[in-house]
């Protein structure tokens, strides 16, 4: 049974929240191994958290993923455990933060609304479900508890949708959404290598069309395949198509922000 828990939150590292969640997990399941995938997400930024969760699932599909960016905590939204068709288990609030990662891991096979009374801990504090519900649920999974034991089944069709859309074909072109800009200003786009290949777009160059410009860019293996200051498209460690500028900032250069639509084609 996999005991790695990948932990993502917007808690930062200046307060006790991350450490307390670690302690709760270790107390409930001493063999659990918590890996902090990131806690510097801007407060309440569900989009960024969902993007980070996708990257985590892409690189650690066998782990349990605990994702807590939860502006609606205590307000009646559900606490979830999602089991994907590939067997990945995700724990977090029902606010869309888990859905893109679940889709990247084969889709939702089952979902459960976590019942705190099923977990051996105290009555949840309304403002800290991460400590009192979600972390204990992840610990229970790490200790071998079946997800179905955590609460009642949930119809996957009722889950809050993710904060960004999957790639789709529109007027004969592949259209995708810019998910995020990473700390280097590289722009991750919600399309995978497999999707590019399936649509005949995996070649030497791509044309990326945004509302205000069109960029003809080499599709390369790594950043050093182009000269300093030049743009490059590649599939990075997140598994997404990424527009970058070697030793530069693509978001700043092109004025593109998360949420922008991009049309992907082959230069004529």
Q: Within this chain, do residues 39 and 121 fall inside the same structural domain, yes or no?
A: yes
pLDDT score for 125:
76
pLDDT score for 165:
86
Q: Within this chain, do residues 186 and 81 fall inside the same structural domain, yes or no?
A: no
Q: Within this chain, do residues 146 and 187 fall inside the same structural domain, yes or no?
A: no
Give me the number of domains the chain comprises.
2
Q: Within this chain, do residues 129 and 195 fall inside the same structural domain, yes or no?
A: no
Q: Within this chain, do residues 188 and 214 fall inside the same structural domain, yes or no?
A: yes
pLDDT score for 180:
93
Q: Within this chain, do residues 96 and 120 fall inside the same structural domain, yes or no?
A: yes
CA angle at residue 124 from 62 to 40, to 5 degrees? 50
Is residue 132 included in any domain, yes or no? yes
pLDDT score for 44:
96
pLDDT tens, position by position, 76-127? 899 999 999 999 999 999 999 999 999 999 999 999 999 988 886 667 777 7
- Boundaries of domain holding 193: 168-265
pLDDT score for 172:
78
Nearest by Cα to 243 from 231, 230, 229: 231
The CATH number of residue 144's host domain is 3.40.50.10790
Q: Within this chain, do residues 138 and 180 fall inside the same structural domain, yes or no?
A: no
pLDDT score for 73:
86
CA angle at residue 82 from 89 to 120, to 5 degrees? 80
Is residue 163 included in any domain, yes or no? no
Q: Within this chain, do residues 249 and 194 fall inside the same structural domain, yes or no?
A: yes
pLDDT score for 207:
95
CA angle at residue 27 from 21 to 29, to 5 degrees? 100
pLDDT score for 268:
80
pLDDT score for 2:
61
The CATH number of residue 178's host domain is 2.40.30.90
Boundary of a domain, candidates 158, 176, 200:
158
Q: Within this chain, do residues 192 and 248 fall inside the same structural domain, yes or no?
A: yes
Boundary of a domain, candidates 103, 136, 158:
158
Q: Within this chain, do residues 153 and 78 fall inside the same structural domain, yes or no?
A: yes
pLDDT score for 122:
67
Q: In the chain, which stretches have pLDDT less than 50?
A: none
Q: Within this chain, do residues 21 and 137 fall inside the same structural domain, yes or no?
A: yes
pLDDT tens, position by position, 62-81? 999 999 999 988 888 999 99
Boundary of a domain, candidates 158, 188, 204:
158
């Amino acid at each position: 049974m996999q005991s790695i828990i990948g932990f993502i939150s917007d808690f930062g590292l200046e307060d006790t929240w991350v450490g307390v969640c670690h302690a709760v997990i270790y107390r409930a399941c001493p063999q659990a191994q918590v890996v902090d995938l990131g806690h510097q997400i801007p407060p309440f930024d569900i989009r960024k958290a969902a993007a980070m969760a996708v990257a985590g699932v892409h690189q650690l599909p066998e782990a349990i993923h605990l994702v807590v960016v939860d502006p609606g905590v205590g307000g009646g939204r559900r606490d979830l455990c999602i089991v994907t068709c590939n067997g990945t288990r995700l724990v977090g609030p029902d606010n869309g933060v888990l859905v893109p990662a679940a889709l990247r891991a084969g889709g939702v096979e089952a979902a459960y609304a976590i019942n705190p009374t099923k977990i051996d801990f105290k009555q949840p504090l309304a403002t800290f479900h991460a400590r009192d519900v979600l972390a204990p649920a992840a610990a229970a999974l790490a200790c071998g508890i079946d997800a179905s034991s955590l609460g009642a089944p949930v119809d996957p069709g009722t889950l809050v949708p993710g904060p960004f859309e999957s790639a789709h074909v529109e007027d004969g072109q592949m259209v995708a959404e810019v998910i995020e800009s990473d700390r280097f200003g590289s722009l991750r786009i919600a399309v995978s290598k497999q999707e590019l290949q399936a649509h005949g777009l995996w070649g030497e160059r791509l044309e990326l069309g945004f509302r205000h410009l069109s960029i003809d860019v080499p599709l390369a293996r790594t950043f050093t395949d182009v000269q300093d200051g030049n743009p490059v498209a590649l599939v990075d460690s997140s598994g997404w198509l990424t527009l970058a500028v070697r030793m530069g900032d693509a978001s700043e250069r092109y004025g593109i922000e998360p949420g922008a639509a991009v049309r992907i084609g082959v230069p004529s």
